[in-house]
């Protein structure tokens, strides 16, 4: 095992982690502020990817494609919040799960109807398609470094938004006492639509960023949604900081586990068996991580004890 | 200014208010007295729009606000200091005060100097978390937050509950100052009789969701009031 390979895998884990953060941030924000479980968050991810692929196909510009992913997912989020989601805040979580599951089906079939079942492809832009030489002579794809950069920028931006702005004060105040924040003259429905659209825009951005590495197709959001739920449960539901730490943890655990476990098992058994057992265990690793965190801290790493 | 006319309010099948009427005028303190559980808090929540009434009308500055939502009433100038204070524990004192900005135009979004003149302790604690303050300090913060809104009507729900005597005095002074300034109507719900009597211009006594006695503080029959609010 070479050092270079190890660092490469760590960077892959980091890239996977920040992408999960961009996805999970909106989910945890919506749960923290509105108390809503939104299964359709993965659909917004898909909408972002499709919008990006469409606009990139029409204009050839990757930056316009990213802007389109943000705009399309935010608009879809705002429409869905106003039409459906705001009727669910007062209901219990089971109703929310059922209704947002229905939204997944509607969005998936709607997308299939518009774009067909074949995957679309979104190419990485020329100026990010080559490798970059990192210190130590490591060659790493520029596009993946770009994702890491965007993810960290989103984290910083969200931190500043939540901790430094008036909107951030309202979001945090609304998290702890929505009745009181309304009694202070804040228009709660507008605030909720805004928060939901913000979370949706981030999901759309994540979809577009990943769409250029994988393919853009119906159903692409659901596997990521499950991982995003794992992330927010580990991080503590409602905590942005927790989502950041947990997504890096999950990204690194998943990637490094898949890389290191087969190597470790190969020390004590035949390579073929080690490969089999190692990758089987690796795919369970993040769920084991979640279980351990929940045993030690039932409300997650940064969760507020209720 | 504030005109509550013959309101009824139900929690499910239970009736919490029966034909309650009350007025409040700028420069005056209307005090609501009564035992626990007779509907005083419910009345304030109805005024602030936090619970819908089932009959009757509430008008504020000449407008019918009976069906107006709580945030719109706050924008119209009704500020509430709720029971239990409801400050935001994870926000700093400064941020808690800034939550009162929502109804103000951008250029007026400042914390008025009077907040710190009335409650100097808040000035020293601006960067502390609201939840780290003592109960009395939290109460001062809740009143300060309401004053940041520059309200025309201030409703206070038992501001002395569980508060040490020295801070009760500060709160009493603050209410007197606001009353004497003359531009704000005040509705005060209180169980602490002497505190309420000293501040009141007018009073009502409630029992089982109804107003059973009312009048001006100057003509108050203290023995009769005490008899009706004694536990």
**pLDDT tens digits, one per residue of A87-122:** 999 999 999 999 999 999 999 999 999 999 899 989
Nearest residue, CB atoms, A169 vs list B75, B89, B98: B98
Number of domains within chain B: 1
Question: What pLDDT score does A2 carry?
Answer: 81
Question: Strands B29-34 and B202-207: what pairing?
Answer: parallel
Q: Which pLDDT band, with edges at 50, 70 and 90, does A294 fall under? A: very high
Distance CA(B110)–CA(B101), nearest Å, equals 8
pLDDT value of position A199 = 97
Nearest to B71 among A169, A173, A188 (CB): A188
Tens of pLDDT, residue by residue, chain B (231 residues): 999 999 999 999 999 999 999 999 999 999 999 999 999 999 999 999 999 999 999 999 999 999 999 999 999 999 999 998 999 999 999 999 999 999 999 999 999 999 999 999 999 999 999 999 999 999 999 999 999 999 999 999 999 999 999 999 999 999 999 999 999 999 999 999 999 999 999 999 999 999 999 999 999 999 999 999 887
HSE, side-chain direction, 13 A CA sphere, residue B211: 18
Kindly provide the residue ranges of all beta strands, DSSP E only, lying in A19-93, ordered along the sequence: none
Q: What do you get for the CA distance between the two ends of chain A, in Å?
A: 46
pLDDT at residue A3 is higher than 90: no
| Beta-carbon separation of B149 and A188 below 8 A | no
Contact B70 A183 (CB under 8 A): yes
Residue for token digits 């009141």? Answer: B200
Residues A28, A246 contacting (CB under 8 angstroms): no
Cβ-nearest to A172 among B75, B91, B149: B91
Mean pLDDT of A44-69: 96
* Residue-level pLDDT at A126: 86
Q: Are strands A131-134 and A138-141 parallel, antiparallel or unpaired?
A: antiparallel
Choose, out of B81, B88, B109, the residue to mutate when testing the contact with A (most A CBs < 10 Å): B88
pLDDT band at A281 (very low <50, low <70, confident <90, very high): very high
Which of left, alpha, beta for B151 (phi over 0: left; psi -120 to 50: alpha)? Answer: beta
* 3 state SS of B22: strand
pLDDT at A280 over 60: yes
Range of the domain at B16: 2-229
Chain-chain contact of B102 with A185 (C-beta, under 8 angstroms): yes
Mutation to test the B interface, candidates A171, A173, A183, most B Cβ within 10 Å: A183
A172 contacts B90? CB cut-off 8 A: yes
Residues of B in contact with A177 (CB under 8 A): 86, 88
- Residues in chain B, total: 231
**Interchain CB distance below 8 Å, B80 and A177:** no
pLDDT (0 to 100) of residue A305: 57
By Cβ distance, the residue of B70, B89, B149 closest to A182 is B70
Count of CB contacts below 8 A, A vs B? 62
Q: Is the Cβ–Cβ distance between A196 and A32 less than 8 Å?
A: no
> Which residues of chain A does B92 touch, with a Cβ-Cβ cutoff of 8 Å?
none
**What letter would DSSP give residue A127?**
G
Distance CA B215, CA B205 (A): 9
| Spatial distance between the Cα atoms of A125 and A122, rounded to a whole number of angstroms | 9
User: Over chain A, what is the mean pLDDT?
Assistant: 93
- What's the confidence (pLDDT) of residue B175? 97
CATH code: domain of residue B35:
3.40.50.300
Which residues, 6 or more positions from B50, have their beta carbon under 8 angstroms from its beta carbon?
Answer: A179, A183, B70, B80
Percentage with pLDDT > 90 across chain A? 81
Which of chain B's residues have a Cβ under 8 Å away from the Cβ of A164? none
pLDDT digits (tens, 9 = 90+) for A158-207: 999 999 999 999 999 988 888 999 999 999 999 999 999 999 999 999 99
CA distance A249 to A152: 15
Question: Distance from B94 to chain A by nearest Cα, in Å?
Answer: 10
Q: In the numeric block, which tokens belong to residue A55?
A: 């606009």
Q: Which residues pair with B78 in a beta bridge?
A: B153
- Name the band, by pLDDT with cuts 50, 70 and 90, for residue A1: low
Contact B99 A181 (CB under 8 A): yes
Domain boundaries, chain A: 3-222
- DSSP letter, residue A88: T
- The contact set of B with A (CB < 8 A) is 48-50, 69-71, 74-75, 79-80, 82, 86, 88-91, 95, 98-103, 145, 149
Cβ-based neighbours of A171, under 8 Å, separated by 6 or more: A29, A33, A162, A191, A195
pLDDT in tens, A230-241: 999 999 988 899
Q: Supply the pLDDT for residue B52.
A: 95
Q: Given this model, what pLDDT does residue B214 score?
A: 95
Nearest residue in chain B measured CA to CA from A174? B88
ipTM associated with this complex: 0.89
Pick the closest to residue A200 from A93, A88, A46, A65 (CA basis).
A46
Query: β-pairing, B2-11 with B14-24?
Result: antiparallel
Q: Which residues pair with B206 in a beta bridge?
A: B34, B211
Classify the C-alpha dihedral B168-B173-B175-B176 as positive or negative.
positive
CA-CA distance, A219 to A225, in Å (whole number)?
A: 10
Spatial distance between the Cα atoms of B154 and B24, rounded to a whole number of angstroms: 10
Helix A142-164 and helix A3-34, axial crossing angle in degrees, nearest 10: 30
Residue of B nearest to A162 (CA): B91
In this prediction the pTM is 0.89
CA distance A14 to chain B (A): 31
- How far off is chain B from A83, nearest CA to CA, in Å? 20
């Amino acid at each position: 095992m070479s050092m270079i390979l190890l660092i490469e895998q760590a960077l892959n884990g980091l890239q996977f982690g920040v992408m999960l953060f961009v996805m999970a941030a909106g989910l945890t924000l919506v749960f923290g502020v509105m108390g809503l479980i939104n299964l359709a968050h993965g659909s917004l991810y898909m909408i972002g990817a499709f919008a990006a692929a469409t606009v990139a196909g029409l204009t050839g510009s990757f930056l316009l494609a990213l802007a389109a992913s943000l705009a399309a997912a935010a608009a879809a989020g705002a429409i869905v919040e106003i039409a459906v989601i705001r009727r669910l805040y007062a209901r219990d979580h089971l109703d929310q799960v059922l209704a947002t599951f229905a939204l997944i089906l509607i969005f998936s079939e709607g997308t299939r109807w518009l774009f067909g079942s074949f995957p679309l492809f979104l190419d990485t832009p020329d100026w990010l398609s080559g490798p970059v030489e990192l210190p130590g002579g490591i060659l790493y794809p520029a596009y993946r470094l770009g994702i890491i950069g965007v993810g960290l920028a989103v984290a910083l931006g969200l931190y500043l938004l939540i901790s430094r702005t008036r909107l951030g004060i309202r979001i945090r105040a609304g998290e702890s006492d929505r009745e009181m924040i309304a009694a202070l003259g804040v228009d709660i429905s507008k605030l909720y639509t805004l928060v939901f659209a913000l979370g949706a825009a981030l999901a759309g951005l994540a979809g577009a960023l990943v769409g250029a590495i994988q393919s853009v197709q119906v159903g692409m959001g659901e596997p990521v949604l499950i991982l995003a739920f794992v992330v927010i449960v580990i991080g503590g539901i409602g905590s942005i900081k927790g989502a950041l730490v947990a997504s890096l943890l999950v990204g690194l655990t998943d990637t490094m586990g898949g890389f290191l476990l087969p190597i470790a098992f190969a020390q004590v058994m035949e390579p073929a068996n080690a490969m089999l057992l190692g990758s089987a265990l690796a795919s369970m690793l993040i769920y084991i991580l979640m279980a351990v965190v929940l045993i030690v801290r039932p409300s997650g790493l940064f969760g507020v004890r209720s | 200014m504030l005109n509550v006319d013959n309101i009824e309010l139900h929690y499910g099948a239970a009736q919490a208010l029966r034909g309650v009427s009350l007025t409040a005028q700028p420069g005056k303190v209307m005090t609501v007295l009564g035992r626990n559980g007779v509907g005083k808090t419910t009345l304030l929540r109805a005024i602030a729009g936090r619970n819908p009434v089932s009959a009757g009308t509430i008008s504020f500055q000449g407008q019918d606000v009976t069906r107006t939502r709580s945030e719109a009433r706050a924008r119209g100038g009704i500020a509430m200091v709720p029971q239990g204070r409801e400050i935001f524990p994870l926000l700093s004192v400064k941020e808690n005060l800034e939550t009162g900005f929502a109804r103000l135009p951008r250029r007026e979004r400042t914390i008025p100097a009077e907040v710190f003149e009335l409650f100097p302790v808040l000035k020293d604690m601006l960067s502390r978390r609201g939840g780290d303050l003592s109960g009395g300090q939290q109460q001062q913060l809740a009143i300060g937050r309401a004053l940041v809104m520059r309200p025309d009507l201030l409703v206070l729900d038992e501001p002395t509950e569980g508060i040490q005597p020295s801070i009760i005095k500060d709160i009493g002074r603050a209410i007197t100052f606001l009353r004497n300034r003359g531009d704000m109507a005040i509705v005060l719900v209180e169980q602490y009789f002497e505190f309420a009597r000293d501040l009141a211009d007018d009073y009502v006594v409630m029992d089982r969701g109804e107003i059973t006695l009312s009048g001006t503080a100057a003509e108050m029959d203290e023995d009769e009031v005490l008899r009706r609010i004694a536990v």
